[in-house]
Structure 1
Amino acid sequence: MAEEAEAPEGGRPIRVLLADDEHLIRGALAALLALEDDLAIVAEAASGTEAVAMATAHRPDVAVLDLQMPGADGVRVAATLRESVPGCRTMIVTSHGRPGHLKRALAAGVRGFVPKTASAEQLAEIIRTVHGGNRYVDPQLAADAISAGDSPLSAREAELLELAADGAPVADIATRASLTQGTVRNYLSAAVAKLGAENRHAAVRMARERGWI
């Protein structure tokens, strides 16, 4: 964790939380951002659960969240922080940007959606943009989201497809979702039909490719 630096012109630096399960990437990013006079890395996290705990404890101004983390993904963390730490603005940094991910992120109140190909200088500027109350979405990701359209899946269909992603049998899915096996089959069949897939495994693959689950 870096100590707070003095911000230019005597103002308080922007307090930043970094959450990424890849230690080398997180450490390198923290070191580079700490070189910016108006940014202070006040906490780091290696999982979604830890990110929520660190944000609650340190109350950062901006949380920079990896999309895919153990415990809870970046979008779920952002949705949680929107309620529990309302003064913290959130942004997603990802190497797996899909149209559905972007739409989920915006619905969760995320203010920035950035590919990991961005430089540290670009990321620092986007942090300032988000802290200032504005939004930044990578132009290519935004264009892809518009062309992909909205997910045809209902929230329950998407939930059950996600539970089926590891090849779990219907009985296990039904137990985890607190539904009957017949109801689970009906939802999965509906999802398969909406996606025009051959089976639920193909439906899972298609939904993941579009970021709908």
Structure 2
Amino acid sequence: MSEQVKVVVVDGHTLVRFGLTGLVGREPDLEIVGDTGLGAEAAAMVAETEPDVVVLDAFLPDLDGLQLARELRDQYAELGIVLLASDGRDDVLFKALASGVSAFVTNTAPTEEILAAIRHAAVAATSFTATGLASAMARRDQPAAQPLLSPREAEVLSLLGQGLSVRAIATSLCVSLSTAKTYVARLYEKLGASNRAQAIMTALRLGLLESS
């Protein structure tokens, strides 16, 4: 690798691409050797300029950026690949990890984080890094949370929140009064409440009921 890290930017958003080339170009250890807004031009540009790092938009206008990343990784084992995305959801992060890129960054990340990702990719192309990776892994390993309330209990809570009496709730749900009382009692038990007011306050605090 040369003294300066050679970088190619592939991003379909003109302003983002210009911003990246300007940002990278100001760094004494980094050098922009090419940029394009089309994924179809990326492979030829990489072959011609032989960069150390490609900064690649995950959602290109003409190609799937993740697929392009996989193809570049298959062809260039030592190429640093930084994947940029507007969406930092866990599923996008894990797709980035699976594609073999060196780093994943959202395009709203601080400039220091983007530059750090490029420098990481230049020296550790096959080592994945992403802000929030550890917490995303922890969330993935957790069993899916079960909803606190059943659909019927959520319905009863909504009717309570509207001020309906237990008898009116029974009529609304087309069930007997005793069944409605059972629903309400079960709801109170789950919410740790002894009356309607407590149940509604707890439900609001837990986000189970929207305040009117």
Q: Which one scores higher on RCO, CA 8 angstroms, separation ≥ 6?
A: 1
Q: Note if contact 2:97-2:128 (Cα within 8 Å) is conserved in structure 1.
A: no
Q: Within 5 Å, give how 1:1-213 maps onto structure 2.
A: 12-133=3-124, 134-139=127-132, 142-144=134-136, 146-148=138-140
Distance, in Å, in 1 between the alignment partners of 2:82 and 2:121 is: 8
Unaligned runs of at least 5 residues, structure 1: 1-10, 151-213
Distance, in Å, in 2 between the alignment partners of 1:111 and 1:72 is: 20
Give me the TM-score of the superposition, normalised by structure 1: 0.59
Q: Note if contact 2:8-2:53 (Cα within 8 Å) is conserved in structure 1.
A: yes
Residue type matched to 2:131 in 1?
D
Residue type matched to 1:68 in 2?
F
Aligned residues: CA RMSD: 2.2
Residue type matched to 2:68 in 1?
V
Residue type matched to 1:83 in 2?
D
Residue type matched to 1:82 in 2?
R
Give the CA deviation at 1:118.
1.7
Q: Note if contact 1:111-1:130 (Cα within 8 Å) is conserved in structure 2.
A: yes
Q: Cα gap change, 1:70/1:44 in structure 2, threshold over 3 Å: closer, same or farther? A: same
Q: Note if contact 1:21-1:69 (Cα within 8 Å) is conserved in structure 2.
A: yes
- Report percent identity of matched pairs: 33
Give the CA deviation at 1:149.
5.8
Alignment partner of 1:91: what SS? strand
Distance, in Å, in 2 between the alignment partners of 1:44 and 1:92 is: 15
Distance, in Å, in 2 between the alignment partners of 1:126 and 1:103 is: 17
Distance, in Å, in 2 between the alignment partners of 1:111 and 1:23 is: 23
Residue type matched to 2:45 in 1?
M
Distance, in Å, in 1 between the alignment partners of 2:78 and 2:121 is: 12
How many pairs are equivalent? 140
Q: Cα gap change, 1:41/1:79 in structure 2, threshold over 3 Å: closer, same or farther? A: same
After TM superposition, the structure 1 stretch with the greater mean CA deviation from structure 2, 87-96 or 36-45, is 87-96
Distance, in Å, in 1 between the alignment partners of 2:10 and 2:137 is: 24
